[in-house]
Amino acid sequence: MKTVAVVGTQWGDEGKGKIIDLLARDADIVVRFQGGNNAAHTIVVDEQKFVLRLVPAGALHPGRTCVIGNGTVVDPIALLNEIDDLRKRRGFDTKNLKLSYEAHMVMPYHRAIDQARERRAGKRAIGTTGFGIGPAYEDKMARVGLRFDDLTNYKAFEDRLRRNITEKNAYLKSVLKAKPVNGADIIETMKRERRRLLPLLCDTGEFLASAIAADRRLLFEGAHGTMLDIDHGTYPFVTSSNCVASGAFAGAGLGPRMLEAVLGVSKGYTTRVGGGPFPTEISGYLADSLREEGGEFGSATGRPRRIGWYDAVLGRMAARVNGLWGLALTKLDVLTGIDPVKICVGYQYKGSRYDTIPPGRHSIETAKPIFEELPGWREHLTPVRSFADLPRDARRYINRVGELIGVPITMVGVGADRDATIVLTNPFTA
Ligand code: IMP
């Protein structure tokens, strides 16, 4: 197959970065289509850790073209800093990076609004990353956002930026009782950095369509996860974009027939950061040890992640909404030594059993998970490179997950390093 999307099937942090990095070896172009620097893909190369927030994971493979599509919201300064870091540490060449003219900018006032709202919400806070993502998408939908193509007419851009700063500062001061942003600083920074941004701009939809016509291999890099999707996730504890596979069409400017396979990524257990319902959540010693063993602290914010068992009800929902072709099950090594291992196979809600999420916005808050217990394993999985060499009970666990969600398991993650993945089927060579 030539066009493949990778999406998270849980609340983000499923280990997509490593899977995308692995598939990027076989791709010519890697494309981000939604979200902003609230995403963080961690990839370990030669024991060096890289956290990519905006630049697609292809950047770690020389010669790949990286595209940031129109569906993203991009903090221009965060992007420039990330490019500088990649250039220094990896010799990354910006000729290989294309940023959509139509992508929207995240400005300092978006961050200020995001953080002030979260502070004021207290216990009702969403637990956002605080990077201004929601407010930037609000401006896009309200048709007052600033797009990168606006930089091509700097005078008009500056006028609109000034207007936005005035309005947002009034809102920050009088409604949110927060400190206004320094407008002069923002204008000065944009005037200075504009020259570095302009060469990156591209009609990325046309570029990708030509690449497909030329038989190039495209990898669409989903950020966050299905349960954080603005429509299909645990609203309002979600992010402000469509993280599901169909987001790739609007967010990269292509039609649905252009995508041949969608690979979902799940951890062998579940994590989430921020507030919101989490039916299989656990606490205490087991949660603490999984958090330590799995390094479950947010890559973007450093916050400790909440921990739970694998939830096949959510897995089934993710399989449906993304049209999954296969599933990569990551971090199986973290479950070593846990016996028994539990999987949520259904929910009990208002006296009935459900195999899907019960209807109603609040059902997931009170639905009780029904668990199945499977025997654990003691062997270290990290050196294993073939499915047949995995311990019998680990294989049984993996197969059971696939069976419960109705999707073949095509990859298994057994460690943090770039090569610690068992590939059963590679969508680019299948
Ligand atoms: P926002 O995207 O910063 O607005 O945050 C909204 C919700 O999505 C919060 O619960 C965040 O913790 C969560 N979130 C956003 N990005 C990620 C991610 O990449 N991984 C995990 N959670 C995320």
* Highest mean pLDDT out of 87-101, 296-310, 339-353: 339-353
pLDDT at 292: 95
Whether 131 is in the pocket of ligand 1, judged by its Cβ within 6 Å, is yes
Whether 106 is in the pocket of ligand 1, judged by its Cβ within 6 Å, is no
Task: Please indicate, yes or no, whether residues 142 and 7 belong to a single structural domain of this protein.
Answer: no
Task: Please indicate, yes or no, whether residues 287 and 359 belong to a single structural domain of this protein.
Answer: yes
CA 192 / ligand 1 centre spacing (Å): 30
Mutate which of 239, 270, 305 for ligand 1? The one with the most ligand atoms within 8 Å of its CB, which is 239
With cut-offs at 50, 70 and 90, classify the pLDDT of residue 48: confident
Beta strand residue intervals within 248-362, DSSP E: 261-267, 270-272, 281-282, 306-308, 310-311, 326-330, 341-349, 352-354
Q: What is the pLDDT of residues 269-290, one digit of tens each?
A: 999 998 899 999 999 999 999 9
With cut-offs at 50, 70 and 90, classify the pLDDT of residue 409: very high
Task: Please indicate, yes or no, whether residues 320 and 247 belong to a single structural domain of this protein.
Answer: no
Q: What is the CATH number of the domain that holds 190?
A: 1.10.300.10
Closest CA to 307 of 327, 336, 334: 334
pLDDT at 311: 98
**Quick one: average pLDDT of 29-36?**
98
Q: Is the pLDDT of residue 301 over 80?
A: no
With cut-offs at 50, 70 and 90, classify the pLDDT of residue 115: very high
Give me the domain span that covers residue 176: 104-197
Longest dimension (CA), the chain: 66
Q: What is the pLDDT of residues 181-220, one digit of tens each?
A: 999 999 999 999 999 999 999 999 999 999 999 999 999 9
Task: Please indicate, yes or no, whether residues 152 and 240 belong to a single structural domain of this protein.
Answer: no
Task: Please indicate, yes or no, whether residues 132 and 61 belong to a single structural domain of this protein.
Answer: no
pLDDT at 76: 98
Q: What is the CATH number of the domain that holds 296?
A: 3.90.170.10
Whether 228 is in the pocket of ligand 1, judged by its Cβ within 6 Å, is yes
Mutate which of 20, 38, 270 for ligand 1? The one with the most ligand atoms within 8 Å of its CB, which is 38
- Give the percent of the chain with pLDDT over 70: 100
With cut-offs at 50, 70 and 90, classify the pLDDT of residue 89: confident
pLDDT at 94: 87
pLDDT at 170: 98
Whether 6 is in the pocket of ligand 1, judged by its Cβ within 6 Å, is no
Distances (CA, A) of 66 to 1, 33, 200, 208: 19, 11, 11, 11
Domain count, the chain: 3
Q: Give the pairing of strands 48-52 and 41-45.
A: antiparallel
- Give the percent of the chain with pLDDT over 90: 89
Domain presence at residue 276: yes
**Quick one: average pLDDT of 243-259?**
96
Domain presence at residue 233: yes
Domain presence at residue 430: no
Ramachandran category for residue 425: left, alpha or beta (phi over 0 → left; psi -120 to 50 → alpha) = beta
With cut-offs at 50, 70 and 90, classify the pLDDT of residue 298: confident
Token pair, residue 192, equals 């200075």
CA 238 / ligand 1 centre spacing (Å): 7
pLDDT at 230: 98
Q: What is the CATH number of the domain that holds 50?
A: 3.40.440.10
Is there a contact between 26 and 428 (Cβ–Cβ < 8 Å)?
Answer: yes
Task: Please indicate, yes or no, whether residues 286 and 222 belong to a single structural domain of this protein.
Answer: no
CA 127 / ligand 1 centre spacing (Å): 8
Task: Please indicate, yes or no, whether residues 216 and 295 belong to a single structural domain of this protein.
Answer: no
Q: Is the pLDDT of residue 91 over 90?
A: no
Task: Please indicate, yes or no, whether residues 289 and 391 belong to a single structural domain of this protein.
Answer: yes
Give, using CA atoms, the residue closest to atom 1 of ligand 1.
128
The residues annotated as belonging to the active site are 13, 41
Q: Is the pLDDT of residue 393 over 80?
A: yes
**Quick one: average pLDDT of 131-149?**
98
Surface-to-core class of residue 363, CB atoms within 10 Å of its CB (0-12 exposed, 13-18 middle, 19+ buried): middle
DSSP letter for each residue of 368-429: EEEEEEE----S--TT--SGGGS-HHHHHHHHHHHHHHT--EEEEE-SSBTT-EEES--TTT
Q: What is the pLDDT of residues 337-370, one digit of tens each?
A: 999 999 999 999 999 999 999 998 789 999 999 9
Give, using CA atoms, the residue closest to atom 11 of ligand 1.
128
Q: Is the pLDDT of residue 300 over 80?
A: no
Task: Please indicate, yes or no, whether residues 142 and 173 belong to a single structural domain of this protein.
Answer: yes
pLDDT at 156: 96
Whether 128 is in the pocket of ligand 1, judged by its Cβ within 6 Å, is yes
Q: Is the pLDDT of residue 92 over 90?
A: no
pLDDT at 28: 97
Tell me what the pLDDT averaged over the chain comes to.
Answer: 95
With cut-offs at 50, 70 and 90, classify the pLDDT of residue 49: confident
Q: Is the pLDDT of residue 243 over 80?
A: yes
Whether 74 is in the pocket of ligand 1, judged by its Cβ within 6 Å, is no
